[in-house]
Amino acid sequence: MDTLSVNQYIKPMLSKSKNSKIMNSLLAVGTIIWLCYCLRVLVFGLSTFGIDTYGATWGILVVNTIHIIGISHVGIAISAAVRVLKLDKYRNVARIAELVTLIALVIAVINLLLHVGRPDRFIINAFLYGKLHSPLVWSMTVFTLYFLTSFVYLYLSIRRDIYIMSSVAPKYRNFYKFLSFGYQDTSNNIERHDRVLFWLALCLVPIMVSVHSVYGLLFGTISAKVGWHNPLQAPYFVLGAIVSGFSTIIIVSAFLRSSFSWKNLLTDRIFKVFSIILAFVVFLYLYFMLSEHISAQYLPTVSERAASDALLSGRFSLIFWITSIVGLILPLGYLIIQAVRKSEINIGLLTAAAVLINIALWIKRYLLVIPTQYEPFLEHFRPLPVYTPTHTEWAVVLGSYVTAAFIFVWLMKLIPIIEFPMDQSSEIKSQQEIKNNSRKIITLLSLFLGICMILWGILTRDLDFAPVKWITGIIFILIIPMSNCLITDRILVRDEEETTTQLDNHEGDGE
């Protein structure tokens, strides 16, 4: 393997510049502050929040959770599209996107955990006593499915690179060997991984759509809040997720490109295509928004119309119009101009547009969750208190992004952030292998047990422990891709000489 070209792919691991050290330290400090605030919420409860029984009962942590889950959307979508449609030109951005997804999901769970009054009971009770009729249990189920499948997908897609790393960085050889879990860089194995990943990618697309649809239904099924009960809520959420996800991927990719001079890896073409997609989805989002407000204005029941009025001309009108114009319409204009021009793409301006769009989407989610809580169907016994988020809430919200960035930077140091191309490895062997039959048995057994457990859970959905059953079923089914890739074939002819030469050649490459 060519050392120079490998070094280019693992630049973040090798980087020891002063700037990166300062940035890492700042992110670490930010993460520690965030953890302190999280601890404060856990110790003192939700009295540290600005939420009130009468007025806003859901605050900005819900807004943030939806936004972060939205960000997680596109990661796997891009990766799945690259794999299923064989878009090899965009392969370099797939790993970045997958990592963004997984980190976003972890941070979203923590946000959700801090939002509930009893984080100590939250996950345990949801799994033990979850009721299928509650949209929150749907979201818990699809979220778990999404997280586990994404994790398996990321691991299987990264396995080969980790294996290559074990020879590139001899200092950490054992660590990477352990992580790669007996990977063999044979053509059969690569082909098998590709096949399994193709199917996983295909399964991930509907799962991903279901996650965001369910989050839309979380609001769409509530008729007690004006403006929430909207049949378009599920596709609206999916669309919002695509917008925020794509803008985040553009921001992260642009940052990595400028930090590590990856102009040849994260090419202008990638940004150009992403900007066109972003322009298209922002346009669709604006179209949905327009359609929502026009239909709301013609509603016969005045109270249902109240939420739309509050945004267009009421208490939230200023924030609504500024967000729509500065955060969506102006960036869309720029993206359209950028798309039709044949000149080189301006990454700086594109990133600025993506940042504006991302912030606008956060505010749009705020405008979905908060204003309606001031419009009760029954008059209240006192004027509803105005919801003002406390510094703890803001710290938890902002800290979530700092922590996500910190985890991302940390993972960048650990695993190759850009997939090694196939020609990067000269170790690919094409030896004769003895097929391992246990793979077939495990696949059939896992599928059978998985389906049985899921069915058992659904059939006994009114009883306790039902979610544990269907989640176990999901885990059983996820054993199929793992076992297919982890169980290795026995190689008949082993080329010892080739392997040892490779290791010797790259002794010290990672230094």
Partner 1 sequence: MYSRRKFVKTGSATLIGLAVTAPGVRSLTSKGSDSETQEKCRLAMVIDLDRCLGCHTCSITCKSENGVRLGGFRSHVMEKEVGKYPKVTRAFLPRLCNHCEKPPCEKVCPVGATYIREDGMVDIDKGRCIGCRYCMVACPYGARYFNPRHDSEEAKLFPARIFGTVDKCNFCAHRIDNGVVPACVNGCLANARIFGDINDPESEIGQLKNNEELVSLLPEFETNPNVFYKGGHTKSFTLKKGK
- Minimum CB distance to partner 1, residue 137 (Å): 5
Residues 6+ apart with CB under 8 A from 432: 491, 492, 493
Contact residues toward partner 1 (CB under 8 A) are 43-47, 49, 51-54, 57-58, 115-118, 121-122, 125-126, 128-131, 133-137, 140, 192, 199, 221-226, 302-303, 305-307, 309-310, 314, 373-381, 439-440, 443, 447, 451, 455, 458-459, 461-462, 464, 484
Instruction: Report, in Å, the least distance between residue 71 CB and partner 1.
Output: 22
Q: Please write down the HEC assignment for all residues of 286-335.
A: HHHHHHHHHHHHCCCCHHHHHHHHHHHCCCCHHHHHHHHHHHHHHHHHHH
Residue number with CB closer to partner 1 (49 or 155): 49
Contact 254, 347 (CB under 8 A): yes
Nearer to partner 1, 160 or 305 (CB): 305
Backbone angles phi, psi at 314, to 5 degrees: -100, -145
Closest to 327 measured CA to CA, from 299, 303, 360: 360
CA distance 73 to 75: 6
Pick the closer one to partner 1 by CB: 284 or 312: 312
Closer to partner 1 by CB, 135 or 170: give it: 135
- CA dist 49 and 64 (Å) reads 14
Minimum Å gap between C-beta 225 and partner 1 is: 6
Q: Is 143 exposed, middle or buried (0-12, 13-18, 19+ CB in 10 A)?
A: buried
CA atoms within 13 A on the CB side of 249: 34
- Could you identify the residue written with the tokens 């510094």? 391
> Bridge partners of 128?
none
Least distance in angstroms from the C-beta of 180 to partner 1: 21
Cβ proximity to partner 1: between 133 and 342 the closer is 133
Residue 116 neighbours by CB distance under 10 Å: 16
Give the pair of three-digit tokens for residue 338.
């950028």
Q: What angle do CA 475, 242, 415 make, to 5 degrees?
A: 55
Nearer to partner 1 (CB atom), residue 420 or residue 476: 476
Rounded distance between C-alpha atoms, residue 362 and residue 491, angstroms? 53
* Closer residue to partner 1 (CB): 342 or 382: 382
Q: What are 313's two structure tokens?
A: 């001309």
CA 481 to CA 470: how far, in whole Å? 18
CB of 459 to partner 1, least distance (A): 5
Least distance between partner 1 and beta carbon 120 (Å): 8
Question: With respect to partner 1, which residue has the nearer C-beta, 4 or 43?
Answer: 43
Min CB(326)–partner 1 separation in Å: 26
4 or 381: CB nearest partner 1 = 381
Phi–psi pair at 416, nearest 5 degrees = -65, 125
| DSSP track, 467-493 | HHHHHHHHHHHHHHHHHHHHSPPEESS
Residue 32 beta carbon to partner 1: minimum distance, rounded to whole angstroms: 23
Taking the complex as a whole, the smallest distance from the CB of residue 112 to partner 1 amounts, in Å, to 9
Q: How far is the CB of 455 from partner 1 (least distance, A)?
A: 7
Whichever of 223 and 500 has its CB closer to partner 1, that residue is 223
